[in-house]
Amino acid sequence: MADRRGIAGTTGITGISLALAVLAPVAACTFGGDDEPTGPHRINAARLVHVSAEGTIDPSQSVTVTAVPGSRLTDVTVADPDGRAVAGLLAEDQRSWQSTGRLRPGTAYTVRISAADDRNGRGDTTANFSTVAAQRLLTAKLGPDSSGSGIYGVGQPLTVQLSEAVKDPQARQEVEKVLTVSSQPAVTGAWYWVDDKELHFRPEEYWPVGTTVGLAFDGTGMRIADGLYGGDRSSLRLRIGARVETVIDAAAHVLTLKRDGAVLRNIPVTTGKPGFDTRNGIKVVLGQERSVRMNGETIGLKAGSSESYDLNVEWATRVTWSGEYVHAAPWSVNSQGVSNVSHGCTGMSTDNAKWYFQNTRVGDLVTVVNSRGHSMEPFGNGFGDWNVSWADWFTHSALGQPLTTTAPAAQAPAAGMARPEL
């Protein structure tokens, strides 16, 4: 019996030792403290990062991704379901990333993050959020339409027609902030709110000859007012041609055309007769028509009356929306250079009208002097913008001060918003 107890006791000790021997290797393989691996391995990246955006956010907010101490971001992408990525900037120390591009209203976004820790562990994670839908979306129609030659005269203003009325002064400032005017060379200019939906931009002086001009509206995700957010980007580019200026002296009955300061031709003309006097002031060529039908009823003349007319007119260069043109008037050749007999237009011989038509373009300047008529209105009947003094012009900007245009995108990788000239 004593031997059995001895054997039994020995067996018990041996079993415990074996058990410890089996457990020991397992305990030795657990990671902790300085024994954590330093070679490449996978980690749970979700525990290393924080995303500021969650749930539903205002699209005007920025998105920030930060890494916890002891870790860093190696890649961050924020994209909508169509794969359109939001621009962003990774900090030099890779501890944070912040969006620089704007979010679109009413859109779901996925944030894809790659992170690493100080022991070469790497992992990926995702997060999701969405943006508040816009009750109203503000879009902009930009002018002039540069789908043709894209070359305009030195008097051509830039125009913006908004899809929604913007009345609040602060909201108007937000609109101006999402409008970019670029030019080479740079010019000083300003926006003028014509009404709640229309803005014009012009330089302090006429555009320099050869200027390349760009206009962009990029309101994507910009909060303009309660429920009103900016729409997608739109833009145009145009080039300014030679400085072509027409001066029509209604009293002397002569039209003088100059290019870059040099007189090209003096043309005998007739302008508006009493009661139909041609408007004084600076106008801008709006368009050119090889042939146009002109009817007195469009300006309130009764058909069959002594003043009525219905004519097919050639080589017509338009300067007001109400129907003032510089055009061929072979029926009044005997009065041209002598007296004013038209209903407000400037008439000349067919040969001279053709030559004039071929030597002018949209955006060129047409100034009428010494007429007994009213002055050209600044807006609503064409581009009378240059009849507004510069001191008055820029006070009708929501920003209330001049701007210096930026360099075009082709010359500058990231052309910013036209900035205040201080």
Residues in the chain: 422
Q: Write a three-state SS string for 74-140.
A: EEEEEECCCCCECCEEECCCCCEEEECCCCCCCCEEEEEEEEEECCCEEEEEEEEEEECCCCEEECE
Question: Which listed residue (29, 327, 343, 396) is catalytic?
Answer: 327
d(CA 105, CA 130): 8
Residue 29: active-site member: no
Residue 345: active-site member: yes
Task: Answer whether the bond into residue 144 is a cis peptide, omega within 30°.
Answer: yes
Q: What radius of gyration do the chain's Cα atoms show?
A: 36
**3-state class (DSSP) for residue 155:** coil
> Cα 371 vs. chain centroid, distance in angstroms?
39
For 368, other C-beta atoms within 10 Å of its C-beta total: 26
Residue whose structure tokens are 């909508």: 80
The b-or-e profile of 308-325 (16+ CB within 10 A means b, else e) is: eeeeebbbbbbbbeebbb
The tally of CA atoms less than 13 A away on the side-chain side of residue 323 is 15
Structure-token pair, residue 221: 């995700």
Question: Which listed residue (200, 345, 374, 396) is catalytic?
Answer: 345
The secondary structure element, H or E, covering residue 14 is helix 2-28
Query: What is the maximum span of the chain, computed from C-alpha positions, in angstroms?
Result: 153
Asked whether 169 and 176 are in contact (CB, 8 A), the reply is no
Q: How far is CA 79 from CA 85, 128, 252, in A?
A: 4, 10, 67
Residues with active-site annotation: 327, 345
